Chain A
Amino acid sequence: MSQVKAVVGRGIPLVGNDIDTDRIIPARFLRCVTFDGLGAQVFADDRSQSQGQHPFDQPQYQGAELLVVNRNFGCGSSREHAPQAIAKWGIKALVGESFAEIFFGNCVAMGIPCVTAAPADVHMLQTWLADNPQFPITLDLEALQVRFGNQAITVSIGEGSRNMFLSGTWDACGQLVAQAALIQETAARLPYIAWSKTA
């Protein structure tokens, strides 16, 4: 299990509030049994309508690894296909004004940190990236900062999630399964377990 203490790479700004998961990956691309191939389809409809002007198509942002967004990013459906598509395009971390909760949880489970910053700081970072797409920036989860050029902004993330990244326990599955005895004990004290079996 890999620790995520910092993400260093070039940034890509995507301006707009309330960008929902239907826009990130339109439903027709959910007709699949694996997540492979979703990277090419990320923002498919927004991109075709922008005719090459969508940041995900602009040459200066190809190879970027940190996505910088605005308010309520990832709202809507619980489809993990959305962060999977973003990740398969190459993104390793997100910085934004705010994230929808299920989207955030999906990112944590995939090892992709989503940190928030003050709107003015996010705007400043997006503007800087538009002017300096060629320079790497650093998300430092220990210092809770994003550093770019000679500037730095403060970012935040829930303490539990941050601990999971720093300690490399963001993939909770193994830890959860390891508690089998306690899980059985919990089930045994729930009154409905006896009367609500389904199989």
Chain B
Amino acid sequence: MSKGTLFDKVWDLHTVGTLPSGQTQLFIGLHLIHEVTSPQAFAMLRERGLKVMFPERTVATVDHIVPTTNQARPFVDSLAEEMMQALEQNCKDNGIRFYNIGSGNQGIVHVIAPEQGLTQPGMTIACGDSHTSTHGAFGAIAFGIGTSQVRDVLASQTLALSKLKVRKVEVNGTLPTGVYAKDVILHIIRKLGVTGGVGFAYEYAGTTFEQMSMEERMTVCNMAIEGGARCGYINPDAVTFEYLKGRDFAPKGAEWDQAVAWWQSIRSDADAEYDDVVVFDAAEIPPTVTWGITPGQGIAVDQQVPTPEELPEKERSIAEEAYRYMDLQPGKPIKGTKVDVCFIGSCTNGRISDLREAAKIAQGRQVAAGIKAFVVPGSERVKQEAEAEGLHEIFKAAGFEWREPGCSMCLAMNPDKLEGRQISASSSNRNFKGRQGSASGRTLLMSPAMVAAAAIAGEVTDVRELL
């Protein structure tokens, strides 16, 4: 059993008590809600005559359904409009802060909470979205929940949970040129598998993460869930504090000093005990691309799609399913695979540093003929910052479309969708069958710089050749 880790300390501090079932009642410091998983939760509250216990600890925005072109209300999609109105009404009725389109603060929930300083070390954070693990980048214990649990948090600011084990995932060394945070997490998932993290919280540790910016750390923690771990985190350090200082909801003055001292104290102890430890060498991580239908089916961009014989026995049946669905031949290089659509954005890779890296590749080059390439900033603030830097002009000159903020084609609950058997190079987080809006659409996950490179070449390309 783990001892002295950040996870243990934060868990203990937030424990309200033990429930008759033996589960822990855990206090949730920050609750984030959006239009998809909250309307039914508010309806359940109304049915039971319950009130929101701590309205000041819930923040709402709208991201999944928003169109990234025409955002005029009412939305063209009447179902999306109905969801939007439900969220507006629920926030109004319950006194919940809501960042609506045009507020200057709207965006993907996992982009806006960090950028406003809502996400802080030592907090417990829950949201009805599996990529809530993103907030672990700050040393928070953050995880996705379902709608009944959203109801529980609204009603009581707590959840009934069983404690997770803690695995330390250590990566040491400097990343090679052309290798990004996205490659690190795709590599970890490839090595530990999509079920490797079930029952665990992942503590990402080691010099590679220490050298990362906060945005890179968010990319890593964002995809903890794709490796089966409900939450992933990184111990807060000077990089964390520097990022937070001066943000809207960050503590100020004397409270800032108090906060930093407390944040330091919740770091995992040097002699902390873990349930498991795995170690990787940054030098061995390549630019990584997925070839299959789970995020664990990744390979180096200069490798071949694995043959069944190369895979462990238990991975063969899903590999066979993937060859058929993706129409990719085992033994054939992934490089050179033609793509139709290139998507840069999402809660994984829709932040300003992601757009900067992609713009470096796009600058002075042209999107290949016949490729639909588009860039969706993660939030209104990211969009504004990118435009102030002129990134939108670089993208547009290269032939990329420049869109309004939202989840867009990551999950295609909005007008941005693949069509038919189109294949996308995508900076998002899931390559599941049908994920990007077409029942036969195909997704290759990669870093935003690699997506930009694929857009230029019209096919999967090694970004290192364009740097």
Contact = CB atoms under 8 A, between A and B. Distances in A.
Contacts of B277: none
Contact of B77 (A26, A31, A173, A196): A31
Contacts, number: 246
A175 interface: yes
Contacts of A182: 16-17, 25
Given A102-B145, A173-B48, A187-B54, A77 B162 contact: no
A163 B64 CA distance: 36
A50 to B, nearest CB: 11
B21 A167 contact: yes
A110 B199 CA distance: 20
Contacts of B411: 22, 27, 77
Contacts of A160: 19, 21-23, 162
Interface string A129-156: 0000000000000000000000000000
B96 to A, nearest CB: 7
B259 A192 contact: yes
B65 interface: yes
A119 B377 CA distance: 44
Contacts of A30: 36, 64, 413
Chain A interface bracket (under 10, 10 to 19, 20 to 34, 35 or more): 35 or more
A76 B130 contact: yes
A34 interface: yes
Interface in A75-102: 75-81, 83, 98, 100-102
A105 B146 contact: yes
A86 to B, nearest CB: 13
Interface stretch (B80-88, B359-367, B457-465): B80-88
Contact of B16 (A71, A77, A186, A191): A186
B287 interface: no
B59 A198 contact: yes
Interface string B141-163: 00111111101100111111110
Nearest to A197: B56
Given A30-B36, A79-B146, A177 B294 contact: no
B408 to A, nearest CB: 12
A72 B194 contact: yes
A80 B147 contact: yes
A167 B20 contact: yes
A71 B195 contact: yes
Interface string B316-345: 011001000000000000000000000000
Interface string B64-92: 11000000000001011011001000000
Contact of A183 (B16, B118, B120, B435): B16
29 contacts: A17-B318, A30-B36, A72-B194, A76-B432, A78-B37, A78-B129, A101-B230, A105-B146, A105-B161, A106-B146, A164-B23, A167-B21, A173-B44, A173-B151, A173-B156, A176-B158, A176-B160, A177-B156, A179-B156, A180-B53, A183-B158, A186-B14, A191-B122, A192-B122, A193-B29, A196-B251, A198-B30, A198-B56, A198-B97
List 7 tightest A-B contacts by C-beta distance, closest first: A80-B146, A106-B146, A109-B148, A78-B144, A45-B439, A31-B79, A176-B156
